[in-house]
Structure 1
């Protein structure tokens, strides 16, 4: 299993970026890919083209029915502010063809370091934790969750 964080370049320098926690604690399972509109990542394009990776995206009424995350071994998470995530999605044609999965967390987000959070949305680290739990990687998920808890207390 692999989780790809498709990261907006501005996110790399923000002290509020939770993707770094997931990469540090889940190094063998989480990989960062810097989003480039004009030069999309070849590996991600191939994974989407073959149906081998699903895009983790909030369920909306206008979206097609999201698929079950247990059906996939590779996931793409958009890592940035909600506005940047929409920009990445809207300007990356291959993402529009990706199968979509939506997470059903047991509780709401605990992320407190940014304003303008999407109702019902999770930050990057929380999404990684949820995916890892769904796929049975509970120990790694617990480690990332503990690090996120400390990070979020700042």
Structure 2
């Protein structure tokens, strides 16, 4: 399983961005692609054309991710909820993708930004839940530990 973090430009330099943790922890299984409205990334388009990619994005018709989900690549929008919604709405190629969602009762530990969506998870938490759903609990636990440490360090500073 591979994860592409389709990252909003504003997130790239933010110290509170958790996408960097995902890449740091998952190594070659995760990558960052900066979203450009008028110039979709060729790597993302290749995954879409192969038919093996799904977008982690909660809609009414999104399927719940499970071990049986047979996608090779999961695209995760990395940005605030408002940025992610803008990216989705302004990218027809994302709307055409199969969409998946995670079902969890986990509460977010990420309280570093204002205007957060109730019951919303940050990027790293979303990837943690994705990993759990796909049966990669060791990787999920390791990323969870990194996130706890990250949040504690940012709150101190």
TM-score, structure 2 as length reference: 0.89
1:97 to 2:96 alignment: yes
CA distance in 2, matches of 1:117, 1:132: 23
Residues 40-77 of structure 1 show CA distances to partners (whole Å, capped at 9, x for unaligned) of: 01221232234311111124xxx32x223231231011
**Residues paired across the two proteins, number:** 150
Q: Which residue of 2 aligns with 1:20?
A: 20
Indicate conservation of the 8 Å contact 1:129/1:141, yes or no: yes
Indicate conservation of the 8 Å contact 1:54/1:101, yes or no: yes
Q: Could you tell me how far 1:137 is from its partner in structure 2?
A: 1.8
- Report the RMSD for the aligned CA atoms in angstroms: 1.3
Q: Could you tell which deviates more after superposition, 114-123 or 132-141? A: 132-141
Q: Which residue of 2 aligns with 1:142?
A: 141
Pairing of 1:30-69 with structure 2 (within 5 A) = 30-59=30-59, 63-64=60-61, 66-69=62-65
1:128 to 2:139 alignment: no
CA distance in 2, matches of 1:97, 1:121: 23
Indicate conservation of the 8 Å contact 2:102/2:133, yes or no: no
Q: Could you tell me how far 1:140 is from its partner in structure 2?
A: 1.6
Q: Which residue of 1 aligns with 2:118?
A: 119
Q: Could you tell me how far 1:104 is from its partner in structure 2?
A: 0.7
Secondary structure (helix, strand or coil) at the match of 2:5 reads strand
CA distance in 2, matches of 1:150, 1:47: 33
Which stretches in structure 2 are left out of the alignment for 5+ residues?
A: none
CA distance in 1, matches of 2:106, 2:81: 19
